[in-house]
Structure 1
């Protein structure tokens, strides 16, 4: 009896061991099946990384989501989106974390760029006038001849300012645009009176607004505000790259999209304390409470799943064509400005 018991125990162990071995063997092909990255070291440019506009990028970087996808991403931060784009055009960066509308602008110049994962579903840009320099401001016409701060000339903050001016009957040439970045430099420029108005992102604009230093005249930090300004949803920050790069590096682009969507999924349930613990201290601009107030204001504008909305793409083209004569709406092939192929797979993978 004891002998039979011993044999039964031994056969159970062998079976268990065999099952574990079989499970491990079954798991191996899945690991091997992960597509080989065509390029694992990626140079990524961004214009104003500390802004909430690019929070998903920072989260994915800080939480190691790029590394988890086998990527070594080196992020170069520039004063604004236009300069970050120049880095890709010049060949010093592979991919840009920037505003979707740059893909339309570049196609108008016969350069094909494509967005492949969305970070923001609203521009998060506010336009405000200085209460110190323009205490008697009444209408857009009052901005004629004034100095307007933007993150960098040609960036999305500049485009938003152009749109606001055009609706008030002014041309871009009626004002002077000054690049002030998206962090401490922007605060200093307005507070010291170097500029009369500013088009910028959060947390900068909320910090100035809460202290009564700017009067907000146009606001796209919420989904409702975005529809009021642009007439529909407006895709904002995304990862985009030259089309030939995407075609040659599909597995690498998939890995980048995976990392961003993983970050978006984390952001859906993250509390203010989680954000504070994750972003670099310098992003708080010395005021933790105001930083969190800003986050609460823009939270709904962060993409949920990385998917670029087709109606938003049409809104972007209509908005750009309304004030930029170099963009002929009928000459732009919108289908080439974006793809949801990678974001869709990432969404399914992470259940975002």
Structure 2
């Protein structure tokens, strides 16, 4: 049985993987797929791909594109979630900050440099015409628990994270969400180490076929809204709203989208160059 390591964030987007694993669908195809939760998000998964700790990552589009350009020996093989990620802009509940303009020049909490929370802080700043050199400052807080501690204790002033994931923290009076900042592209892709693509293409195709069958009918699974609400401790109405907004994909990200992401990252001075589509993607 072929052992394959895969990583992703422990969030509702990835429930389809949990369901297929629980059903033993990979083992039925002689694949021992092992899921690893990455609470540190994209930056932590980029490191895990580089180190060979995981073979596959379900990862933010902008983060993996940046890291492949920076030398990560991996490629995008498919879009996973087609719709943009809606990032909430959060402050501590008792903070004096009332709107995004109040945050200009203050300190953003980020899970790590190169992470989605880091890159989206730039997008948010650009959206509000801030000076990217003068008006951005960062505090590394590792993960969502670190952000709760960092904002509550005043180590940082604001934090961008997926708004439905943080909704229970907002509802509990720990965070206050003062704005939303959607990513201007599909949010999650599936990235795979080049070595694994070269040596295990058939297993990779099998894995993608299984997950794609589940995501294509995900919204039709009986009581899926209640399952998500219970598993991720979210309100049913929030889950239903999220399901209404979210579309999965079963195809490779297209060239135009990849170029748009790169143009944005290049304009923000996050990547040093724009590279060919083929350097970032692999069509199975």
TM-score after normalising by structure 2? 0.82
Does the alignment pair 1:61 with 2:25? no
- SS of aligned partner of 2:53: coil
Change (3 A) 1:276 1:41: farther
Equivalent of 1:318 in 260, 263, 279: 263
Q: What corresponds to 2:282 in structure 1? A: 339
- Distance in 2 between the 1:190 and 1:297 partners? 27
What secondary structure sits across from 1:336 in the alignment?
A: helix
Q: Shift of residue 246 of structure 1?
A: 0.7
| Residue 238 in structure 1 maps to residue 189 in structure 2 | yes
Contact 1:127–1:161 (Cα < 8 Å) also in 2: no
Q: Trace 1:1-150 onto structure 2 (pairs within 5 A).
A: 40-46=2-8, 48-49=9-10, 51-78=11-38, 79-130=40-91, 132-140=93-101, 142-146=103-107, 148-150=108-110
Richer in strand (by share): 2
Q: Spell out structure 1 runs of 4+ moving beyond 6 A.
A: none
| In the alignment, structure 1 residue 274 sits paired with structure 2 residue 236 | no
In the other structure, the counterpart of 2:132 is: 171
Aligned residue number for residue 196 of structure 1: 157
Whether the aligned pair in 2 keeps the contact of 1:43 and 1:92 (CA below 8 Å) is yes
Segment of structure 1 superposing worse, 91-100 or 129-138 = 129-138
Q: How far apart, CA to CA, are the structure 2 residues paired with 1:86 and 1:235? A: 22
CA deviation profile, 1:54-92 (whole Å, cap 9, x unmatched): 333333333433334332111222222111121121122
Displacement, 1:316?
1.6
Corresponding residue number in structure 2 for 1:294: 238
User: Quick one: distance in 1 between partners of 2:262 and 2:151?
Assistant: 31
The structure number with the bigger radius of gyration is 1
Contact 1:165–1:172 at 8 Å: present in 2 too?
Answer: no
Query: Secondary structure in 2 aligned to 1:88?
Result: helix
3-state SS of paired residue (2:261): helix
Residues 1:276 and 1:152: Cα distance change in structure 2 (over 3 Å): farther
Aligned length: 279
Q: 1:159 to 1:194 in 2, by over 3 A?
A: same
* Distance apart, 1:192 and its partner CA: 5.8
Contact 2:75 2:279 in 1 (8 A): yes
RMSD: 3.0
5+ residue gaps, structure 2: none
- How far off its partner does 1:210 sit? 5.1
Separation in 1 of the partners of 2:78 and 2:5? 17
Q: How far does the alpha carbon of each residue in 1:209-229 deviate from its partner, in whole angstroms, 9 at most, with x for none? A: 556742342332xxxxx5xxx
Once residues 280 and 255 of structure 1 are traced to their aligned partners in structure 2, the CA distance between those partners, rounded to angstroms, is: 30
- The question of whether the paired residues in 2 share the 8 Å contact of 1:95 and 1:239 is answered with yes
Counterpart-to-counterpart distance in 2, 1:318 and 1:66: 38
Q: Distance in 2 between matches of 1:279 and 1:207?
A: 11
* Superposed displacement of residue 191, structure 1: 5.2
Mapped partners of 2:121, 2:13: distance in 1? 17
| Cα distance in structure 2, aligned partners of 1:98 and 1:71 | 21
2:179 counterpart (217, 231, 241)? 217
